[in-house]
Amino acid sequence: MGYVAVKGGTDAIENACRAFQLERVKKTSTVLGVEQIRDQLFFLVDRVMGEGSLYAPDLAALAIRQAAGDTLEAAFLLRAYRTTRPRLGYSIPRPSTQMRIVRRISAAFKDVPGGQVLGPTNDYTLRLLNFDLEDSPKITRTKLLHEILESGGSLEPLPDTFPRIIDILRRENLIATPERSEGDGKAFDVTRDSLLFPAPRSAALQAMARGETGGLLLLAYSNMRGYGNIHPTIGELRVGYMPLCIPHPSSGKIYRVGEVKVTEAEILARFGDKTDGPRFTVGYGLCFGHNEVKAISMAILDRSIQGGTGATPSEDAEFVLSHIDGIESMGFCNHWKLPHYVDFQSDLDRLRKAKEIHESQGMDRHQKK
């Protein structure tokens, strides 16, 4: 692309940046603190952490404040900061049965081992504005705790582990064996290596885990509406905290150094496997924080690109994985705001020349008549 240097605009650019900062503080309302954003806008924080590919609630809250609530810009800030940090190692994989559950439901079965744990959700509420939210947090907290206890609720801790519903079906030989592709033996790292196609499943899952929630939802929704053939049933949806374990750099001994909040979704799709007979196929999704829409969309697309023919966009792995990164797509969209003077002048010159030729040919045809 052709760009030309913009001269004499430094002061204007600096003032534009100052004007943006002024927009956040020019009114008389109290400035939102990082702690307030982290604690009260937790869905937003979780979404930015997932798309920014960095689990850091305080930094995500800071990015949201700096970006004035623009989720794409906030995720961009977070991912840019991530690139400045040294990589000290990799965590040890852990099964999700070790998750400290906050919420766990199944749409496939009414009664499941361990029970349905609805947890904190607004799924079962009417979408009406609640003007009581203006109460002080302390009054609201006391009121809600009183109502939970009065209604027979319990504050007792949940069990340490829950059985996986997919494993119950697998023991009955009702789950198809996952398809294997080249490169599936080792976890791919899309932050170190360029994504090539056909992409191994670990690369596809990692790309989707970093993907923009709305982009994933759009493609998954297109599949659900018939531009694809996945009719999903949620076998299990979990929200909770996974242990973060790393090996000691000297002894190699495994230590638990913390935990990470994640959302996991496993969907059961149409009957599959031609070789082993009719069985359910499974799609998988897991992302940072509490983001159920993203995890479910990810699981649907995982199943779609595994078994799809490529006849629709949601079944084409290259199409899906090349267009779901919100930061890349935002960057390409925004770059059109940069100077394209040379490009446009070239187009303008060609258009004027083509117009002259067209008009002269029109005059020649008129004269011949």
Element (H, E) at 234: strand 233-247
Half-sphere exposure of 227 (CA within 13 A, CB side): 10
Yes or no: say if 224 and 230 are a contact pair by the CB < 8 Å rule: yes
d(CA 25, CA 23): 6
CA 107 – CA 350 distance, rounded (Å): 60
Q: What is the mean pLDDT of residues 108-112?
A: 88
Q: How far apart are CA 34 and CA 44, in angstroms?
A: 13
Q: Which two tokens stand for residue 273?
A: 């496997």
Percent of the residues in the chain that have a pLDDT greater than 70, as a whole number? 91
Question: What's the CA angle centered on 77, arms 72 and 81, to 5 degrees?
Answer: 145
Q: What per-residue confidence (pLDDT) applies to 272?
A: 60
Nearest residue to 209 via CA among 263, 286, 266, 264: 286
Q: CA 350, 356, 359, 365: dihedral to nearest 10 degrees?
A: -100
pLDDT tens digit string along 281-312? Answer: 899 999 999 999 999 999 999 999 987 777 88
C-alpha span between 196 and 301 (Å, rounded): 18
Q: pLDDT (tens digit, 9 = 90+) per residue, 268-284? A: 987 665 666 788 889 99
Q: Are 242 and 259 in contact (CB under 8 A)?
A: yes
Predicted pLDDT of residue 2: 40
DSSP character for 337?
Answer: G
